[in-house]
Amino acid sequence: MLAPLKEIVTRYGLLAQKSLGQHFLFDLNLTGKIARLAGDLTQGTTIEVGPGPGGLTRALLENGAAQVIAIEKDRRCREALSEVEAAYPGRLQVIEGDALKIEAAHLGVAPRRIVANLPYNVGTPLLIGWLKSIRSFESLTLMFQKEVADRMAAPVRSPAYGRLSALVQWQCEVKKLFDLPPAAFTPPPKVSSSVVRLTPKPVTEPADFALFERVTASAFGQRRKMLRSSLKSLGDAETLLTQAGIEPTARAEEIGYAGFAALARALQERTTTP
Ligand code: SAM
């Protein structure tokens, strides 16, 4: 029988470290809810980033995960996680390391899914890395700062719509599952959090990932300006916009992911056409 999480944290002296974005979930109802919302875990591999003392990890295993591969940067969590490994023999593998440097798409076996209460300081770069090989995953069920989750789900023309919205919506269906107040965590963060499910969708607007990022970075870099002006750094913005079928007087917040994909294709055509 595993000891309660709070006891584990005390036993191994796992005082939360701010630099590692450590805000632990001890409430079994919440960790259970996240694990259930992550879908069927009985096939393939469930990848968890930042298991910490192992609260969500336990819930994933309790909810039938066939195999969990958990990546944790904080070596102090090793013993706490060893206890979970021993309680679920052969079903948990812990990788000690930085998730930013590990190619999650190659871990374990398909179907792969990622489930994580993410460290907020690296949540967005981790997500962008996973989006690059999104078709390696059947779903991502992730906890972010609420403000970041809102941006991912924001519709075109809304104040929160931006680079991240276009990029995520280009690749995935986005569903906000539920919000959590700061008090749900130990120690409480300054802001509220949200759990989001991202499901990869078929490619309807093919474009090069890096060029899509470049185009959205320029467009939203000056989001109040007309695109013919904000895209100047890409060179001959008016031609690019015409090729993409976008009014040069439009603004970034009015353009959905299909428009940015068309711009990325126009940019690519320019670089590949002699
Ligand atoms: N999963 C635990 C929970 O829900 O209670 C802990 C979540 S806490 C918000 C984030 C965890 O990510 C911490 O355990 C932290 O040490 C870990 N972490 C931070 N940066 C990391 C990185 N670059 N790679 C892997 N783990 C990281």
DSSP the chain: -PPPHHHHHHHTT----GGGT--EE--HHHHHHHHHHT---SSSEEEEE--TTSHHHHHHHHTT-S-EEEEES-GGGHHHHHHHHHHSTTTEEEEES-GGGS-GGGSS-SSEEEEEE--GGGHHHHHHHHHHTGGGEEEEEEEEEHHHHHHHHPPTTSTT-SHHHHHHHHHEEEEEEEEE-GGGEES--SS-EEEEEEEE---SS---HHHHHHHHHHHHHTTTSBHHHHTGGGS-HHHHHHHTT--TT-BGGG--HHHHHHHHHHHHHHHH--
Residue 89 has a pLDDT of: 97
Residue 238 has a pLDDT of: 96
Q: Is the CB of 14 under 6 A from ligand 1?
A: no
Residue 207 has a pLDDT of: 98
For 129-133, what is the mean pLDDT?
A: 97
Which residue matches tokens 């906000």?
176
- Residue nearest to ligand 1 atom 21, measured at CA: 73
Q: Is the pLDDT of residue 109 over 90?
A: yes
Residue 17 has a pLDDT of: 94
At 186-206, the pLDDT tens digits run: 999 999 999 999 999 998 999
Structure tokens at 2: 């595993």
Give residue 11's pLDDT band: very low, low, confident or very high (50, 70, 90): very high
What is the CA(248)–ligand 1 centre distance, in A?
44
- Alpha carbon distance 206, 264 (integer Å): 9
- Alpha carbon distance 51, 115 (integer Å): 10
For 219-242, what is the mean pLDDT?
A: 95
Neighbours of 115 (CB within 10 A): 29
The mean of the pLDDT values for the chain is 97
Q: Which CATH class is domain 209-272?
A: mainly alpha
Q: Which CATH superfamily is domain 5-200 in?
A: Vaccinia Virus protein VP39 (3.40.50.150)
Q: Is the CB of 51 under 6 A from ligand 1?
A: yes
Q: Is the pLDDT of residue 219 over 90?
A: yes
Residue 1 has a pLDDT of: 85
Where do the domains of the chain lie?
A: 5-200, 209-272
Q: Is the pLDDT of residue 235 over 80?
A: yes
Which residue from 18, 19, 24 has its CB within 8 A of the most atoms of ligand 1, so it is best to mutate? 24
Q: Which residues of 168-193 are buried (b: 16+ CB within 10 A; e: fewer)?
A: bbbbbebeebeebeeebbbeebeebb
Using a pLDDT cut of 90, give the percent of the chain over it.
97
Q: Is the pLDDT of residue 156 over 90?
A: yes
Which residue matches tokens 């991240």?
164
Q: Is the pLDDT of residue 274 over 70?
A: no
Q: Is the pLDDT of residue 163 over 70?
A: yes
Residue 271 has a pLDDT of: 80
What is the CA(56)–ligand 1 centre distance, in A?
11
What is the CA(119)–ligand 1 centre distance, in A?
5
Q: Is the CB of 94 under 6 A from ligand 1?
A: no
Residue 57: closest CA among 94, 89, 103, 23: 94
Q: Is the pLDDT of residue 154 over 70?
A: yes
For residues 95 and 45, the answer to whether their CB atoms sit within 8 Å is no
